[in-house]
Amino acid sequence: MTHQPAVAFGATVAGRPDALADVDTVLGLFINTLPVITAPAPQQRAADWLQALQRENAAAAEHAHTPLADIQRWARGAGGALFDTLVVFENYPVDETVRDADPRALALSDVRSIEATDFALTLVIESGTELTIDYGYDTARVDAHQVETWHRAFACALDALARTPDALLGTLSIADDAARAALARAQDTARTWPHAQRQPLHLQFAAAAQATPDATALEYADADGAVQRATYRELDLNTTRVAAALRRRGVRPDTPVALCVERSFDMVTALVGVLKAGAAYLPVDPDYPAERIAYLLRDARPAVAITQAHLREQVEAALGDDATTQLLTVADLLADEAGEANGANGANGANEATADTDIDDARLAYLIYTSGSTGKPKGAGNSHGALANRIAWMQHAYRLTRDDVVLHKTPFGFDVSVWEFVWPLAIGAKLAIAAPGDHRDPARLAAAIHAHGVTVLHFVPSMLAAFAAYLDDFSAAAQCDSVRLIVASGEALAPELVAKVARLMPNATLVNLYGPTEAAIDVSHWTCGPDDASAVAVPIGHPIANLQLHVLDAAWQPVPAGATGELYLAGAGLARGYLGRPGLTAERFVPDPFVPGARMYRTGDLARRRADGALDYLGRVDTQVKLRGQRIEPGEIEALLRTAPGVHDAVVIVRDEQLIGYVARGDAASLDRAALLDSLRAQLPAYMVPSQLIELDALPVTPNGKCDRHALPAPVREAAAAVELATDTERALAAIWQRVLHVDAIGRDDDFFLLGGHSLLATQAHAQANLHWGLALPLRTLFDTRTLARCADAIDAACAAQGETDAASAIDALLGELETQ
């Protein structure tokens, strides 16, 4: 029910030691509560476990008089309660005492005791000719449906223990026949798509281009507001040329082709061209550190790396002496001539690039790297078949039309970007492309939505919160009147955010999707309604078509609704595995016990099924975290820290929405934390670099020798000699930073990001600054200036320029009036 290897509950005891003479004649209440801890192993015989539990319970009897408060103090110091469930076994029921009383005495019937406890759940068990269980529960923490679910599971477990005492615990199920039938109904997601929707996405794009060649496929507004457009005919021709050029260079199905490009027409042209060539595209974000880019290229060994002219030197340096990867720009590929056979119009090139219409569904479509717990990222490869199923489901669920405009703003190393690219292009809709960096600037996003008439877009919930705050603070919601669908995914969606979005954009439907990189983008869906705005949590919902979401215990047995288990994915959406990691692939992609020959993906996520079949996300079974929509394995950061000179051990956790690193220095006198952070920045994406490193003599450990993460000290900003603020602008800006960063004092040379700031806090601080001074500075101003003094200078310069503009406008207006007189 809890998916924990061990559980603790309280059990009441008489509290009268047998060694005390005539203890049974002593008046008074001696009842005590003792903790019972048990760790049933899946490979343990049921009878053996029950006997061991009985022996442990008997051995604990000599401590029956020990106060629970003392036990708790010894176990946890000043910590919380040891358990929140109490079991009371009544072997002298009151009704039997009344029944056996003198028949001449006053007769009482239906005598029951009602006791109040501080526990979330209390079980009172009475034995007789039948076992009676009374459940008492705190309605603030437990609802009636949960209790009913637990009772059915408990009854099922008791029945299995009684009937099959020699069975292994892992083979016993707590799901009865009714629960299993309900689970089967929840997994019935089979759907057959029309032939056209089962085709690889590049063929669906080709069909859309043939149907509406003159429709706008791509739209992009540069920093000056100039809008560029490309029709479906133009995009089809350019992507066909790219595909033909790639094939002439030996690119074949399952061949990775790296794309190191900025968000632009080039990005879309290269991506679709790679798919047309039958290959798999590998996104390599040019904003990554050089060492990260070099690792991705070494590990994936792409046949070709595609970049842009201004990024060529950066990619050349990352490739180093690797002669196996050809480096080309998008312009190179478009200018490439196949010779007389292809002709100037590229018609034969089109035939060459699209001839393989029967490409196997199992061939790779894209390869995306995710954080790895062993210290190195791993590449998850997803197939054409899985992607086609995902897009077919999305079209069935949300019905994109040729009049829709989808905004592509997600960094393309994040798998959500996949549907941003291929869904609109497969339908014949318009794809609007946000400028590089605009995905983290609410003001620029709102302007882009308004300029392009965007109808569909995606947000990570934390960025959606920042965007909604901007719309609220600047009364800018009218800029988003065109939006009809907002897709949220990447992290938990808060009910209060659902309410805020509904208030600001009442015409938009908000949906919550969930899925790991090891599947084709998303595997579950939930459409938010009014009830979600006041719920405890927003669910991740139901499985998409042709996928199954199993909530299983440690022995891969299904758990009923209301019980916690690990989430496993099965069906049409699974990735093929990890590139070049057969061992890790076998560990995470396991045999499906419900479908012979099929596989399941072990997500590592904890989930619980609701009564309506929808799933709640409950956290992780390991230390993996999601921070601002990015999946992070702390182990990857820890592994890099442990290789640094003087570092004996390291652990990384998330605290207050920030990554905090703890380093044990071992024999070293002290550590250069600034150098450690610089080293991490050279190897990791910015979102994986801890906001702060805390130096310890040694990491705290639990009794079994593991790091006690709960005992790690809270980060405290070290006092530094703050340089006194010099201007009114600096003082006003410092007040804004203090509110956003929750720090007491800021000096003019303090760096926003070294104070604990990150992209979302930067969004808040920058929006407040723009509001305070009535400016429209882009968010990159804060990223470029970083320190309070430089940022204040930028604000002063913008205010001065705005004043000059206002004065010039006033003079022009006055001259205009004079001319008309």
pLDDT in tens, 420-452: 999 999 999 999 999 888 888 899 899 999 999
26 pLDDT more than 80: no
Say how far apart CA 718 and CA 734 lie, in whole Å.
18
How many percent of the chain have pLDDT more than 90? 47
Separation between Cα atoms, residue 312 and residue 32, nearest integer Å: 74
Q: Report CA torsion sign: 18, 24, 28, 32.
A: positive
Tokens of 723: 């340089």
CA 257 to chain centre: 26
Res 537 pLDDT > 80: yes
pLDDT band at residue 217 under the 50/70/90 scheme:
very high
pLDDT of residue 112: 60
Query: What distance lies between CA 715 and its chain's CA centroid?
Result: 24
What does the alpha-carbon distance between residue 389 and residue 395 come to, in Å, rounded to a whole number? Answer: 10
Distance CA 507, CA 501 (A): 10
Distance of CA 587 to the CA centre of its chain: 21
Give residue 580's pLDDT band: very low, low, confident or very high (50, 70, 90).
Answer: very high
pLDDT at 172: 86
Least confident of 237-241, 375-379, 432-436: 375-379
pLDDT at 125: 86
Per-residue model confidence (pLDDT) at position 111? 56
Topology given in CATH for the domain delimited by 7-174: Chloramphenicol Acetyltransferase (3.30.559)
Helices (H), 572-645: 582-588, 634-642
Q: What is the DSSP letter of 532?
A: G
Query: Is residue 599 within 8 Å of residue 569, measured between CB atoms?
Result: no
The whole-angstrom separation of Cα 292 and Cα 806 is 47
Q: Which fold is adopted by the domain 728-811?
A: 1.10.1200
How much is the pLDDT for 71?
A: 76
Phi and psi based region of residue 650 (left: phi greater than 0; alpha: psi -120 to 50; beta: remaining): beta
Mean pLDDT of 359-367: 91
Domain boundaries, the chain: 7-174, 632-696, 728-811
pLDDT at 680 over 50: yes
Judge if pTM exceeds 0.85: no
Residue 315 confidence (pLDDT)? 93
**If you count them, how many residues does the chain have?**
821
Q: Among 57-61, 109-113, 459-463, where is mean pLDDT lowest?
A: 109-113
Which tokens go with 760? 């979302």
CA–CA separation, 287 and 774 (whole Å): 31
- CA dihedral 264→265→271→277, nearest 10 degrees, is -160
According to the model, what pLDDT value does residue 812 have?
60
Residues with Cβ within 8 Å of 746's Cβ and at least 6 positions away in sequence, in order, are: 722, 725, 734, 737, 738, 755, 788
Q: Is the pLDDT of residue 164 over 80?
A: yes
Distance, in Å, from the CA atom of 544 to the CA atom of 529, rounded to the nearest integer, reads 19
Checking if the pLDDT of 297 tops 90, the result is yes
Residue type, 788: L
> In angstroms, how far is the first alpha carbon of the chain from the final one?
85
pLDDT at residue 813 in the model? 59
| Chain centroid to CA 561 | 23
pLDDT per residue as tens digits for the range 618-667: 888 877 787 877 788 888 888 889 888 888 888 998 887 888 999 988 77
In the predicted structure, residue 702 carries a pLDDT above the cut 70: no
Least confident segment among 229-243, 436-450, 572-586, 806-820: 806-820
Inter-residue contact 432 to 421 (CB < 8 Å)? no
The 649-655 sheet, strands edge to edge: 649-655, 658-664, 692-696
Q: Of 546, 562, 565, which Cα lies nearest the Cα of 554?
A: 565
Name every residue whose Cβ is closer than 8 Å to that of residue 543 and which is 6 or more positions away in sequence: 186, 187, 189, 523, 524, 549, 571
Mean of the per-residue pLDDT values for the chain?
A: 86
Q: What pLDDT, on a 0 to 100 scale, did the predictor assign at position 816?
A: 62
Fold identical between 7-174 and 728-811?
no
Tell me what the mean pLDDT of segment 232-246 comes to: 95
Lowest mean pLDDT among 375-389, 508-522, 570-584, 672-686: 672-686
Output 292-297 pairs: Cβ under 8 A, ≥24 positions apart.
Answer: 292/377, 292/683, 292/684, 292/685, 293/260, 293/318, 294/318, 294/319, 294/320, 295/376, 295/377, 296/258, 296/369, 296/377, 296/379, 297/258, 297/322, 297/325
State pLDDT tens for residues 82-98: 788 888 887 655 555 55
* pLDDT value of position 66: 78
When pLDDT is averaged across residues 12-20 and rounded to a whole number, the result is 68
The per-residue pLDDT for 77 is 46
| Higher pLDDT among residues 780 and 90, named by residue | 780
pLDDT at position 157 is 87
Alpha carbon distance 171, 43 (integer Å): 9
Q: What is the mean pLDDT of residues 766-783?
A: 89
As a whole number, mean pLDDT of residues 790-802 equals 92
pLDDT of 719 reads: 47
Residue in this structure with the two tokens 């047995």, named with its chain if needed: 557
Q: What is the DSSP string of 118-158?
A: SSSEEEEEE-SSS-EEEEEE-TTT--HHHHHHHHHHHHHHH
Is residue 371 within 8 A of residue 377, CB to CB? The reply is: yes
Q: What is the pLDDT of residue 519?
A: 95
Q: What is the mean pLDDT of residues 692-700?
A: 87
Lowest mean pLDDT segment, chosen from 122-126, 210-214, 226-230, 269-273 = 122-126
- Tell me if 297 sits within 8 A of 319, measured CB to CB: yes
Sign of torsion over alpha carbons 410, 412, 414, 417: positive
Class of domain 632-696: alpha beta
Cα–Cα distance between 206 and 235 in angstroms, integer? 10
The closest of 405, 410, 422, 400 to 281, measured between CA atoms, is 422
CB 441 within 8 A of CB 780: yes
- At 343 the three-state DSSP class reads coil
pLDDT at 474 over 50: yes
Where do we find the tokens 């061990």?
A: 6
| Calculated CA dihedral for residues 277, 280, 283, 289, nearest 10 degrees | -110
CA distance 637 to 569: 27
349 has pLDDT over 50:
no
Q: What is the pLDDT of residue 353?
A: 46
CA 71 to mean position of chain CA atoms: 38
